Amino acid sequence: MGHVTLTDVEWINLNVLAVIRAGLQHDRASTCCKFALDTKLADYLNGLSLDELWSLVLHVGDTTLFPPRADLVTLLNTPRALAGPMAIIHPSAPMEIRR
Taking only the tens place, the pLDDT of each residue in 78-93 is 899 998 888 888 766 6
Residue 91's alpha-carbon distances to 23, 26, 69, 72, 94, in angstroms, are: 19, 23, 9, 11, 10
Mean pLDDT of the chain: 86
Q: Where along the chain do its domains lie? A: 1-66, 67-99
Q: Which CATH number fits domain 1-66: 1.10.287.130, 1.10.4000.10, 3.40.50.720, 3.60.21.70?
A: 1.10.4000.10
Residues 62/9, Cβ–Cβ less than 8 Å? yes
In this model, does residue 12 exceed pLDDT 90? yes
- The percent of residues in the chain predicted with pLDDT above 70, rounded, is 88
